[in-house]
Each structure stands twice: as C-alpha cells, then as structure tokens.
Structure 1
Amino acid sequence: MSAVPALPKETAHLYARFNKITKIRNQDFADIATIKTIDLTGNLITEIDDGAFSKLLLLEELILVENKLTKLPMLPAKLILFNANFNRLKTKGVKATAFKNNKISTVTDETFCRGNSSYYIRTNMDEVRLDGNPVVLSEHPDSFICLQALPIGWYH
C-alpha cells in the first residue's frame, strides 16, 4: 500500500503499519470525523500536508514512528499521544517547551528525564514551562533532575 486507502466515514482506528505510504494528503482524512487513532508506523512518509489532521477533532493518538519525516505536522488540539520516534526530524535544537495554562495535573519521574538520570534530556533543553496548570511540582521532584533549570511560573 503506497497511499492512505479510502476509509469508511465511521472509522475510529487506522492501523496501516509497515506499508509504503510516502505522503499524507489533506484529503486522506478529510471526511473521517470519528477517527481516534492513526498508527502509520514503519512507512516511508516524507511529507504531511499542512492541515492534514486539522479536521480530526476526536484524534487522540497519532503514531508516526519509523518514517522519513524531516518536519512535524500541525497537531490537533485533542491529541493525547504523539510519537514520531526514529524519523529524520531536523531542528537546531529545541531550547524551551511551553505547556502553559492547560489541565496538566500530573507528571511522572520520566516525563522529562529517564530513570532519574541527570544526563538524559536533550542537551539544548533549557526551559520547561508548566505554569497555569493544576500540577503540584513538589510531589514529583525527580521529574526535573535532568533539566538545566527548574520550571518557573505560577502553579496550584
């Protein structure tokens, strides 16, 4: 399979893993308002049209592992899980992430660090902003052990 196939309008989950899909076009998911999961692991995707996922208001999981992406697509607002491991993403280095004023209530010890290792975080990461969320950072002190600076701002 080299393209996203025509799907029924009531499709909730698409698992099109390990095919030869090279591009995601705007029209591929345009009429599928019910889709919650898209897993395109192990394809040859190099390009995703701007807005290809923008009308997917129920999309919660987008998995694009092991493709050939060089840039990230625009992501829908309701997304819970996004995985683009093992692609060809290019960046000069993300230095800050901001998740301000959301409803994030918990973080785990491995949200930003792995196994309490002070060496795990991307070396360019300077700042994580979580202010305006109901998370209690003091309950998870090891979540930030690998960051150069602690999250700053207003928290509950």
Structure 2
Amino acid sequence: MKTFANVFLGLFILKSVVAAPPTDTINYDTDTYEVDLEELDNLYDYDESLTVDQAQIEIGTVLPVVNRPILSPEQVPEDIEEGEESTPKLIDGSSPQGPLSPGVLGPETSAGISTCLLCTCIGKTVYCDEHNLDSVPLLPKETTHVYLRFNKINKINKNDFAHLNKLQKIDLTSNLISEIDEDAFRGLEQLNDLILRDNRIRQLPELPNSMNVIDVSNNRLGRQGIKQEAFKDMIDLHLLYLTNNNLDHVPIPLPDSLQALHLQDNNIQEMHEDTFCKMKDFSYSRRALEDIRLDGNPINLSNTPQAFMCLPRIPIGRLI
C-alpha cells in the first residue's frame, strides 16, 4: 500500500513539472518604443556621491527681464565676453517702447546718474523735488512737465531747457535762484505755466507769448526787474502773481485775457487812471479781470476811483 502511494505521488509531481510554463529569457523588441530603453535609463542617471551644501542655497525672488531685445550674433558687441549679458544704454530718453515709458531712465546727470533714476518719471512728467540739486538736471527731450521744487538751484542757464520744445510747465518753487539767462525760456513755444516763487530773482527774462500762468511771488524784482510791456502780447495769460517783490508800479499794459493779478505786499504808491481801463473809451469793459490784490501796498485806492470803472469788481486794498 505504501509503495502504491509513492508511485501515485511521483506521477503527480511529474505531471506538474510538464505543465509548468517555460523559463526561457524573453527578448523585447525595442523598436516598438518611441524612446530607447537604454537612453531612458541614462536620462535619469545621477551621481550618488553628489552632496548639497545647505548653506549655499539662497532663497530669493528673481525679477523677470522685461522687454529685453533679442540680439542676433552680428549685433552683439565685440567687447562682450561669452556668457556676459549686454544691457542697452539710452542716451536721449527714447526707446522702442516710446518716450519716458516704464523702465526708461532718461539721460544722465552731471553726477553720472540717470535722471529718471535720481528723480521720478511718470509719463512725460519729471518730479525731482527735494534732491539737493544745485543745477537743472538733463531732462528727457519728450518732457512736458517738470517739478524741481525745494532744491538748491542758484542759476538757470541758457541751455537748461533749450532742447525741450514740448515743455508746458516748469515749477522751480523754493530754490536759491538769483540769476536767469535772458534766453533761458525764449524758445519754449509751448510753455504755459512758469512757477518761480520763493527765490531770489532780480530780473525776469523774456518769456514766450504762450504763457497762461506766471508766478514770481516772493522774489526781489524791485523797480527794474520787469521789462516794459513784458506781458503785453501774452493773449492767453490768465494768472499773474507778483506778490512781495518790492515793486513800485503796476506792470502795464496787461492783456485782456488776464483773470487774476496779485500785487500785494509791494511798494506801489500810486496808480494811473488808465492802468486797467481806458478813460477815453467809456464803452471799454474788462470783464475777465475779477481778482486784483493790492493789499499791503502804501496806495489809497480811493484816490483813483475812475481807474476801476471798467472792472467787474473793485480791487482788494486800502480804501481810506
């Protein structure tokens, strides 16, 4: 019985071995893959001995490079070594993006600093207040408005604004200006507003006839500081502020467009009857001039009542 059992067990094992799957090596055809298996293995190969020094890892923010031009090999300067970046330099404030667009630094000042890096350029306006400047910086040629307030500028030279033919407003409030070249503003045909208050100016230079606003308050013009008929041909002049300048007269003739004339705190002692009106033409009316300030002057307005007949309002000042 034991022998029969052994024979049966042997036959069962033999049958199982015959039915088992083959153990031969299977060869895969790599031509059916888009990527060679050997290349794929090399792609992810790495050096197990590589170590990382944590102290050398710097965490920061990488700023994107905006609008950097792509240079062809022929355009790359010869003095730039391989691997070194080239940054285009702007000379006159212009760029492919347009004048004074974001990122344009403008021309360099005498100190070698770009104007729009030293100051603030927004659109075509340059703000350069409180920078301890002792002269007018070189401005981008497309500038229309410039603010140079609260600096230490002591002189306005002939060429400070000569190249700015689109300039519309200059504000030089609270500087140390004592001298202005006679031709400093002459060629600025689009200049409308000129603010020179709180300086030491003794002579007002020739101004273009395009002026709308002139403010030279708190200076030292005196008797000879304003030329004869300086404002006569300024047909668009609206505001003229000459407060506290030790003037002894009203600078006539004044254009009919004038709306406000501030002459307070001067040394004006008398006024002619034709200062504002035309005594020989009783039909003449100066309706635009509604604000005349003569307070703080040693003049009695009651002495020349006919001088105000053509005005919509009596000037502010001493009446007795």
Q: TM-score, normalised by structure 2?
A: 0.38
3-state SS, counterpart of residue 128 of structure 1? coil
The unaligned stretches of length 5 or more in structure 2 are 1-132, 224-246, 279-283, 294-300, 311-320
The unaligned stretches of length 5 or more in structure 1 are 115-119
Q: Which residue of 2 is the match for residue 15 of structure 1? A: 147
Contact 2:263 2:292 (C-alpha < 8 Å) held by counterparts: yes
C-alpha distance after superposition, 1:43-88 (max 9, x if no partner): 0000000111001000000000110111212111101100011112
Aligned residue among 238, 248, 253 for 1:98: 253
3-state SS, counterpart of residue 38 of structure 1? strand
Aligned residue among 285, 308, 318 for 1:136: 285
Contact 2:179 2:201 (C-alpha < 8 Å) held by counterparts: yes
User: Deviation at 1:137?
Assistant: 3.5
How far apart, in 2, do the equivalents of 1:139 and 1:89 lie?
26
Q: How many residues align?
A: 141
Q: Which residue of 1 is the match for residue 116 of structure 2? A: none
3-state SS, counterpart of residue 150 of structure 1? helix
Contact 1:24 1:52 (C-alpha < 8 Å) held by counterparts: yes
Distance 1:55 1:113, change over 3 A: closer
Give the superposed CA RMSD.
3.6
Give, as a single letter, the amino acid of the residue that structure 2 aligns with 1:93.
Answer: D
Give, as a single letter, the amino acid of the residue that structure 1 aligns with 2:142.
Answer: E
Give, as a single letter, the amino acid of the residue that structure 1 aligns with 2:249.
Answer: V
Contact 2:196 2:215 (C-alpha < 8 Å) held by counterparts: yes
How far apart, in 2, do the equivalents of 1:8 and 1:15 lie?
13
Contact 2:195 2:214 (C-alpha < 8 Å) held by counterparts: yes
Matches within 5 A, 1:1-156: 1-91=133-223, 93-95=248-250, 97-99=252-254, 104=257, 107=259, 111=261, 122-126=268-272, 127-129=274-276, 136-137=285-286, 146=301, 148=304, 149-150=306-307
Give, as a single letter, the amino acid of the residue that structure 2 aligns with 1:123.
Answer: Q
Distance 1:47 1:32, change over 3 A: same
C-alpha distance after superposition, 1:1-39 (max 9, x if no partner): 000000011000110000000000110011000010000
How far apart, in 2, do the equivalents of 1:96 and 1:19 lie?
29
| The structure with more strand, counted as a fraction of residues | 1
How far apart, in 2, do the equivalents of 1:11 and 1:77 lie?
20
> Taking every aligned residue pair, what percent have the same amino acid on both sides?
33
How far apart, in 1, do the equivalents of 2:308 and 2:202 lie?
29
- Which stretch of structure 1 is more off in the superposition, 47-56 or 70-79? 70-79
Contact 1:93 1:125 (C-alpha < 8 Å) held by counterparts: no
User: Deviation at 1:122?
Assistant: 3.4
Which protein, 1 or 2, shows the higher relative CO under an 8 Å CA cutoff with sep ≥ 6?
1
